[in-house]
Structure 1
Amino acid sequence: MAEISKPFGGQDVAVFIDFENIYISVLAEYDVNPDFEAIIEKSEDYGRVSVAQAYADWTPYSHYINALHAYEIDPIYVPAYHYGEGGKQKGGAIKNSVDMFLCINAMKMLYSHPNIQTFVLITGDRDFVPLVKTIREFGKRCIVIGVAGAASSHLAQAADEFFFYHQITDNLKPPEKERVKARDPFDTLAEAVRIARQRGYVATLASLKLLMTELLGEFDQSKYKDGRGKPIQKFKDFVKEAERRGKVKLFSTGTVNEVFLPNEDPQKLSRFAEEVLPTEPTLEPEEATEEEEKTEAELELTPEQWRLFVGAMSQVEGAAPFVRVFDVVRGLRNQGLIDLSNREVKTMIIKAIHMNLLTRSNRGRGRRTLYQLTADPNVLGQYMDLPRMAPSRDVPTMDTASAVEMRVQSAPGEPAAGEPIEPTAGLQLQFASEDVITGERMSTAGSGSHTREPSDAQFVA
């Protein structure tokens, strides 16, 4: 029988699996366990799989080790790090080194195994974008497989090919809640914008094209025609055609293209509009310009908006420049917590300065003006339920926790980091849903494992 022709002449393939990323994402989206057989079969489309490795802290996933070995996937042990004192774990796992170990081993293979022409990464983590770019710079092919709703658009765009997990399996479909009923591609684009909003993504062209593939199963803009009956060659032209039909609105800041729904105001919602901020605000009322006085007098802010302002600024450690304060407050707008334009955000900050909610000081490089939430409880008490004192630098916070000793919670006899794990006798070779789908597993803190966000989101932009 003639051998089936494979890309790259049937040359070797290396598969690297970010186990925790794919496990948690598949479980959350589809309520099933990952199908590693389907992953290996898809990888074999590009040649012979000569190396397959899965990286994780295997303490909570030990029942998967035998199953991975059945598909000739080597589980590589990577410990999770915890904040704690006296060997006691505090707050669950906060960070592991999976990304680092996986990248190091992939780079070693890139140099030492010239026979490997294709690298397959099973992850949706944006942190792997530099690795993908490096693999391609060396003339190798890089394939990425991620889960719908948990994959970074930056990662998908960097790869030679990107597949959603449900596309490589026979028994899965896109999540019912996000399946588009209207099959018109331009209506689907508008639906993709709505989904991007729900997930907290920036609706850039790259993220929307990925969502189109997720919603339609496959997407190629050249299959559709513009108003003149000509095939659409670029995705941006596809978006322009959708805009011409009144489905969406394309907005550009000169550097970034964003897509909005027809009834949305890009100037108010864009994360990139007016990125070049105006000059420092006038601090004394008598020195304010006529335009500033008019804008400040017209803007009425609710107690809830001021409470959110105080809460956001209380998370800023130390004094910060005006640009940083502006960014913090605009972040509330981007999260949908306050409905203010960029100009109104600036006016809110000016009001806070005049109301003594923000204090200023001239220090730092170049003696620039810095701003900080007031430490006066009498002032803060007007905008919060209870008087609030300034945070003490002696109390550890999430930002200062790096000063706390980090300890590796490893039980005696565990393998060293980066070493393969041998099969465990007596474990069943099956994926029993009742063994893993528990309330504890579904909680990011319950299992003691660390869940990384998809960044962009994570399409997190």
Structure 2
Amino acid sequence: MMSLPTEQRDVALFVDFENVYISVREVYGQNPNFEYIMEKAAEYGRVIIARAYADWYRYQRVTNALYANGIEPVYVPTYYYGQEPHKATAIKNSVDIHMVIDAMRTLYTHENIDVYVFVTGDRDFIPLIHAIRQKGKMCVVIGVADTASSHLAQSADEFLFYHQLSDDIRPAREKMDPFEAVPEAVKLARQRGNVPTFAIIKLLLVELLGEFDHTKLKDRHGRSFQKFKDFMKECERRGLIRIVSSGTVNEVLLPGEDLSMAVYAGEQGNGKKEKSEKGRRGRAHKADTAETPSEASSSRLIQGDVDPLQLLVQAVHEARKRNNLCTMATLKVLMKELYPGFDERRFVGPDGKPFSKFKDLVEAAEAQGLVQTLTTGTVHEVFLPGEDPLALSRFRRGEKTASGDTPTTS
């Protein structure tokens, strides 16, 4: 694989000022430090756009700090009920929509930007994150502990808590055993209305402990945990939690909680199990009748009569026909279209273990010479054997002609 060096990346920074300002003051009792934010953004490459959005008439003394750190303050007015603002009640301004429009405009007018950094904890930005990632760009979100949306964190390529930017702003927390913190994370997830999946619990552990790395922890036999799942299983062995699975996602319950508490894995209950059995009988009936070619194909796939690596190759050909980008995200969607219900975790790799990630499946196909991959550091593209990835890649900076066409040589 080839990667784009960090120093060659261009970065855009967008700051939801009021969101981070209020959150930092509530959690840490201080004003946000923009120097730390800019330093973190600069770690991803050259910051060529840096903007903060707010009604600056309300925060006039902050603008000097923004300019000093190379951040452009973008004025977004606040509207009031009543004729006189100092007597009227303020209503929510339109910072969110201004940031979204500005970020999307940047996405289509500055193709050289590879990394987008958003400083916010507002889940309203999730569709924006998805749209930018679909264009092959990397999205980084910086939020504040206790206030950032866990769903927003999961949608980004990388999520950081504000206190991780510097040791000076590390939150004051009591020392807590990482294993004992897991049940607390489950409780916190329930308080916030989140489903306690492994991804949510891992994020909350960072919030509760200040920092968390499962690879630095050891089990009863003194062995380090290679995967977060192994750490969670050790917690289950210690009787701290209970893990239930629907086959597609793992949820965490507290000891003594009924299976009905599980949102996804609850389908193992009697009522939904009966429904599942009916669904299987229905699919079996379709397989027997084979009314259409697509139904016959689906029935063979349900029986497991499919090679996922060959299915990947088929998806690449399909993407070529449709003139789609051959990114991993696009290919996974096409594989689900070709094979309804596709999930890489249902297939076993050459090592005899199920694929834990779609990337593992692609790497297995690459190892067998079925495909080849190229990465700019922000997105992986997949090509067929014999193709020139450097020439065909749509993401390599500086490789497009003035007309926007992809050149035939790298």
Question: TM-score, normalising length from structure 1?
Answer: 0.52
1:207 aligned partner = 200
- C-alpha change, 1:253 and 1:81, in structure 2 (3 Å) is farther
Deviation at 1:92, TM superposition (A): 3.1
Report the CA distance shift for 1:75/1:15 in structure 2 as closer, same or farther (over 3 A).
same
Whether 2:16 is the aligned partner of 1:23: answer no
* Residue of 150, 161, 164 corresponding to 1:164: 161
Cα separation, 1, equivalents of 2:198 and 2:73: 37
Alignment match of 2:176 (pick from 179, 182, 189) = 182
1:131-280 matches, within 5 Å, as: 131-176=128-173, 179=174, 181-183=175-177, 185-199=178-192, 201-224=194-217, 232-252=225-245, 257-267=250-260, 269=261
Correspondence 1:122 to 2:115: no
- Residue 36 (str. 1) matches residue 30 (str. 2): no
Deviation at 1:140, TM superposition (A): 1.6
Rounded Cα–Cα distance in structure 2 between residues aligned with 1:88 and 1:66: 25
Whichever residue aligns with residue 98 of structure 1, its letter is: V
Q: Which amino acid is the alignment partner of residue 264 of structure 1?
A: E
In structure 2, distance between residues paired with 1:32 and 1:182: 25
Aligned partner letter, 2:89: G
- Distance, in Å, in 2 between the alignment partners of 1:163 and 1:46 is 13
Q: Tell me the CA shift for residue 263 of structure 1.
A: 3.7
Secondary structure of the residue aligned to 1:46 is: coil
After TM superposition, give the deviation of residue 230 of structure 1 in Å: 7.0
CA-CA distance at 1:166 after TM superposition: 0.6
CA contact (8 A) 1:121 1:145 kept: yes
- Highest relative contact order (Cα 8 Å, sep 6+), 1 or 2? 1
The separation in 1 between residues aligned to 2:251 and 2:87, in whole angstroms, is 41
Report sequence identity in percent: 55
The number of equivalent residue pairs is 268
Residue 59 of structure 2 is aligned with which of 58, 61, 66?
61
Q: Which has the larger radius of gyration?
A: 1
Query: Is residue 188–residue 212 contact of structure 1 (8 Å, CA) maintained in 2?
Result: yes
Aligned residue number for residue 102 of structure 1: 99
Matches within 5 A, 1:380-391: none
> Is the CA contact 2:82–2:88 (under 8 Å) kept in the aligned structure 1?
no
For residue 8 of structure 1, what is the aligned residue in structure 2? 6
**Alignment match of 2:45 (pick from 44, 47, 54):** 47
CA offsets 1:366-424 (integer angstroms, 9 cap, x no match): xxxxxxxxxxxxxxxxxxxxxxxxxxxxxxxxxxxxxxxxxxxxxxxxxxxxxxxxxxx
Q: Contact 1:174–1:214 (CA<8 Å) still a contact in 2?
A: no
Question: Residues 195 and 16 of structure 1: is their aligned pair in 2 closer, same or farther, counting only changes over 3 Å?
Answer: same
Compare the two structures and name the one with the higher helix fraction.
2
In structure 1, give the amino acid aligned to 2:164: Q
Distance 2:79 2:237 in 1: 52
Shift of 1:146: 0.5
1:93 counterpart (87, 90, 100) = 90
Deviation at 1:28, TM superposition (A): 0.3
Q: Deviations over 1:281-331 (max 9, x none)?
A: xxxxxxxxxxxxxxxxxxxxxxxxxxxxxxxxxxxxxxxxxxxxxxxxxxx
AA aligned to 2:255 is: P
Conservation of the 8 A alpha-carbon contact between 1:10 and 1:46: no
In the alignment, the residues of structure 2 paired with residue 87 and residue 111 of structure 1 have an alpha-carbon distance, to the nearest angstrom, of 40
How far the C-alpha of 1:206 sits from its partner, in A, is 2.2
| Partner residue, 2:78 | 80
Separation of aligned partners in 1, 2:89 and 2:112:
41
Deviations 1:405-450, CA, capped at 9 Å, x for gaps: xxxxxxxxxxxxxxxxxxxxxxxxxxxxxxxxxxxxxxxxxxxxxx
Question: Pairwise CA RMSD of aligned residues?
Answer: 3.3
Give the counterpart letter for 1:195 in structure 2.
L
Query: Partner amino acid for 1:205?
Result: F
Query: Cα distance 1:244–1:94, how it changes in 2: closer, same or farther (>3 A)?
Result: farther
Alpha-carbon offset, residue 256 of structure 1: 5.9
Question: CA contact under 8 A between 1:205 and 1:258: conserved in structure 2?
Answer: yes
CA contact (8 A) 2:244 2:265 kept: no
The one-letter code of the counterpart of 2:46 is R
Residue in structure 2 matched with residue 409 of structure 1 by the alignment: none
What secondary structure sits across from 1:250 in the alignment? strand
Aligned in 2, Cα 1:98/1:218: closer, same or farther, shift over 3 Å? same
Does the C-alpha gap of structure 1 residues 39 and 7 become closer, same or farther in structure 2, counting only changes over 3 Å? farther
Q: Distance in 1 between matches of 2:130 and 2:5?
A: 20
Deviations 1:86-141 (A, max 9, x none): 67799833322111110111111111112221111001111111211222222222
Return closer, same or farther for 1:203/1:93 CA change in 2, 3 Å cut-off: farther
**Alpha-carbon distance in structure 2 between the residues aligned to 1:273 and 1:43:** 39
The answer on whether the counterparts of 2:11 and 2:49 sit within 8 Å (CA) in structure 1 is yes
Kindly indicate whether the alpha-carbon contact (under 8 Å) linking 1:251 and 1:259 is maintained by their aligned counterparts in 2. yes
Cα deviation, residue 76, structure 1: 0.7
How far residue 198 of structure 1 moved from its aligned partner, in angstroms, is 4.8
Distance in 2 (alpha carbons) for counterparts of 1:127 and 1:7: 32
